[in-house]
């Protein structure tokens, strides 16, 4: 006689059900492990690809930032050179104007204006004089008062400074637009 025949039928069914549940549970656990392994490998591959893309983006961003910094540095250098050039032009103009003022103040230099020789209005009241030992051949001139000459030099000095500043601003804008 067999051992299975000695066990009552309801217990046999219960044992079969337990055995079947164990087999199904075990195969489900195996299926879960296989699926976990497959998804785990997919997730790790996606993570690796994501990390590579992020690294490439970071490298591209860093390269672009370096290029922009190099452009900015080159622009700053060009602007500094331009500024030095215009500062030198301004200081040269100021130095020349200072010398001219000094020469006017010491009467080493006199400013004069041309008189219109065709009209009789100005020629009768201011005769042209010549320096001793020389004869002036040319248009009639009248010397300006030193105070008026100083004012004229100050006006031209302001104009020169304005023109130099304008040239500096134009050079600055040209460099920025380059």
The one-digit pLDDT tens for each residue of the chain (178 residues) are: 566 666 677 777 777 888 778 877 777 777 778 787 888 888 889 999 999 999 999 999 999 999 999 999 998 999 899 899 989 998 998 898 888 888 877 877 777 777 776 655 544 555 555 444 445 566 777 777 878 888 888 888 888 889 888 988 898 888 888 8
Nearest alpha-carbon partner for 114 in 124, 122, 106, 105: 122
Sign of the C-alpha dihedral, residues 165, 170, 173, 174? negative
Q: Tell me, rounded to whole angstroms, the distance of Cα 102 from its chain centroid.
A: 43
Those residues with Cβ within 8 angstroms of residue 174's Cβ, 6 or more apart along the chain or in another chain: none
Structure tokens at 166: 């304008």
pTM over 0.75: no
Contact predicate 136/128, CB 8 Å: yes
R_g over Cα of the chain: 50
């Amino acid at each position: 006689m067999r051992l299975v025949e000695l066990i009552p039928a309801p217990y046999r069914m219960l044992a079969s059900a337990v055995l079947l549940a164990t087999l199904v549970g075990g195969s489900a656990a195996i299926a879960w492990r296989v699926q976990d392994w497959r998804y785990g490998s997919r997730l790790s591959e996606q993570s690796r690809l994501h990390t590579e893309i992020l690294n490439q983006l970071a490298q591209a961003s860093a390269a672009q930032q370096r290029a922009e910094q190099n452009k900015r540095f080159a622009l700053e250098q060009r602007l500094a050179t331009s500024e030095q050039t215009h500062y030198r032009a301004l200081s040269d103009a100021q130095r020349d104007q200072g010398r001219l003022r000094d020469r006017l103040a010491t009467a080493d230099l006199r400013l004069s204006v041309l008189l219109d020789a065709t009209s009789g209005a100005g020629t009768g009241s201011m005769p042209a004089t010549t320096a001793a030992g020389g004869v002036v051949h040319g248009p009639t001139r009248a010397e300006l008062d030193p105070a008026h000459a100083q004012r004229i030099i100050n006006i031209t000095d302001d104009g020169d400074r304005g023109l130099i500043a304008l040239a500096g601003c134009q050079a600055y804008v040209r460099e920025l637009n380059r």
